[in-house]
Structure 1
Amino acid sequence: MTDDMKGKVTIVTGGGKGIGFGIATAFAKAKSNIVITGRTESTLISAKEKLEKYGVEVLPITADGGYEEQVKEAVDKIIEKFGRIDVLINNAQASKSGLQLVEHTQEDFDLAIKSGIYAVFNFMKFTYPYLKETKGSVINFASGAGLFGRDGQSSYAAAKEGIRGLSRVAATEWGKDGININVVCPLVMTKQLEQWKAEYPELFEKTIQGIPLQRFGDAEKDIGGTCLFLASDAASYISGETITLQGGSGLRP
């Protein structure tokens, strides 16, 4: 399956750290050339150095997906360097998670919408001509916050459910072009969760008990591995789906 990635070009938004870096690592190991975008240049440069160890080309681009012109310029740079785009993974997202709905300001809400659904829209819009040429894949990230209505996640959930709706429409419209589009809802071990585990070990253990597989996902192996599958020829007939990668805790009808 990973042989499908050799020589291809994969964009990972927010690919300089966290889940995005784990995904970028999985694709780099599969020999895909990598584009990572984000707002902090130093983070991207550090990630570039690590990813290049797998023998692939890595292009870091400082860009905020919420701004149309920045995304257009980023895509122009990608095409100038690589001449193609095969996979778009929209991972980046910011939000005021933890605030109750009535505590949100409009600016708080705008943060989630702009960094989430607007960024996904912009990257999809400007990469579309090149994804059409390669019959590529789009993988967008949503969340159990939206699927299950989690407390303190109103703006984040709204953005993520908007991304799911956008993805389903795109799957319908772009199917004729051979582009498949899917959504992933992950539950992942992050640095923040590791810190929380150290500070609240009993609460962490209680949380783990609610996950049938008894662990949080690994960004590279679990999330990156699933993204690799969705971007491969083996998954070319899967489109418009939402996949919950939550260790069995994201059960849906």
Structure 2
Amino acid sequence: MSALQGKVALVTGAGQGVGQGIALALATEGVSVAVVGRTEAKLETTCELLRERGVQARPYALDVLKTESIAPLVDRVATDMGRLDILVNNAYSGNLGKLLDLDLKSFTKGYVSGPFAAFEFMKAAHPHLVASGGGSIVNLVTSAMVRWDLSTYGAYASAKSALRSLSRTAAVEWAQDGIRVNSVAPHALSPGLKWWTENNPEEAEEFVAAIPMKYIGDPETDIGRAVVALCGPDMRYLTGATVPLDGGQAHFG
């Protein structure tokens, strides 16, 4: 029996891509999942896949840009599912572009959906994680934070850098509560990236060539399984870390 059997996770942006992959990997270990995202049809699809793996799965429609709705949703998840042990902040909605082409609203959109939303989820989850005897939070950041050329990535990378710092702070402050907080920076073949690779084959070939392991990660087997490991007892002494899941491409010096 898995060490995570019977636990409950809340995963944002779980209707597709990396979020769905993480949810599926957790379900394989017997973790029931609150599937959070914007599109109800996609949430239902993910829930069906999770139920096929023998766990409870419930859909919760939410736009993380509406931060005032986050805390009530977390409380509802804990009530509906009886507990909360794992929080995965994956959802993100922001803009790319050169700094001079972005206005303040465009620049800060990624902050609202990223560190601001994660802050609300984390604070709301805290008492429920404590009540369950401690737990694990995993926040998704990006290797764009350490790109040598940040052109057009400024808004994205800075928002994710803020989330990384938030994760480290919570890891230190909440360690005494039995809560571990880590970040992962993935490359994964999400629907968006898959579309890009198919429509930009030459650029995609160059991108893959820059990955030492020579392939883009799979949302479940490469990203989701790593998140499972982070949430399990084998990693009980790891907190405040940023784990690159990118085949060795980025250098977090």
Relative to the length of structure 1, the TM-score reads 0.95
Unaligned runs of 5+ in 1: none
Alignment correspondent of 1:224: 224
CA RMSD of aligned residues (A): 1.4
In the TM superposition, what is the alpha-carbon distance from 1:251 to its structure 2 partner?
A: 2.4
Q: Deviations over 1:42-87 (max 9, x none)?
A: 2212221222111110011112234343112211211221221110
1:30 corresponds to which residue?
A: 29
Change in CA separation of 1:190 and 1:79 when aligned onto 2, cut-off 3 Å:
closer
Helix, strand or coil at the partner of 1:34:
strand
Q: What pairs with 1:110-121 in structure 2 (closer than 5 Å)?
A: 110-121=108-119
Q: Show the counterpart of 1:130.
A: 128
Distance 2:9 2:239 in 1: 18
Look up the match of 1:202.
Answer: 202
Matched, 1:45 2:44: yes
Partner residue of 1:143?
A: 142
C-alpha contact 1:68 1:122 (8 A) present in aligned 2? yes
Percent identity between the aligned chains?
Answer: 35
Query: What is the rounded CA distance, in whole Å, between the counterparts of 2:124 and 2:206 in structure 1?
Result: 44
Local SS of the residue matching 1:139: strand
Distance in 1 of aligned mates of 2:162 and 2:41: 31
Q: Which moved more, 1:67-76 or 1:78-87?
A: 67-76
Question: Counterpart of 1:36 in 2: which secondary structure?
Answer: strand
Query: How far off is 1:199 after superposition?
Result: 2.5
- Aligned mates of 1:92, 1:117 — CA distance in 2: 10
Q: Distance in 1 between the 2:252 and 2:107 partners?
A: 27
Q: What does 1:38-117 correspond to in 2, within 5 Å?
A: 38-97=37-96, 99-117=97-115
Structure 1 residues 15-26: aligned runs within 5 Å:
15-26=14-25
Task: List per-residue Cα deviations over 1:205-249 (Å, max 9, x = no partner).
Answer: 222111110001111011101100000011111000011111011
Instruction: Give, in whole Å, the separation in 1 of the partners of 2:68 and 2:128.
Output: 18
Question: AA paired with 1:108?
Answer: S
Instruction: Check conservation: 1:65, 1:122, Cα contact below 8 A.
Output: no
Aligned counterpart, 2:243: 243
Counting only pairs closer than 5 Å after superposition, residues 184-195 of structure 1 correspond to structure 2 as 184-195=184-195
Task: Report if aligned partners of 1:10, 1:89 keep a CA contact under 8 Å in 2.
Answer: yes
Residue 166 of structure 1 is matched in structure 2 by 166
Alignment partner of 1:175 is 2:175: yes
Q: Quick one: distance in 2 between partners of 1:23 and 1:183?
A: 14
Paired positions, count:
251
Instruction: Please say which of residues 46-55 and 87-96 is displaced more in the overlay.
Output: 46-55
In structure 2, how many angstroms separate the alpha carbons of the residues matched to 1:59 and 1:135?
A: 22
What SS does structure 2 have at the residue aligned with 1:88?
A: strand
The residue type equivalent to 1:130 in the other structure is: H
Aligned to 2:212: 212
Residue type at the aligned position of 2:186: P
Give the superposition deviation at 1:203.
Answer: 2.4
Alignment partners' CA distance in 1, 2:155 and 2:203:
25
Superposition misfits of 4+ residues, deviation over 6 angstroms: none
Where does the alignment leave 5 or more consecutive residues of structure 2 unmatched?
none
Partner Cα separation in structure 2 for residue 68 and residue 246 of structure 1? 30
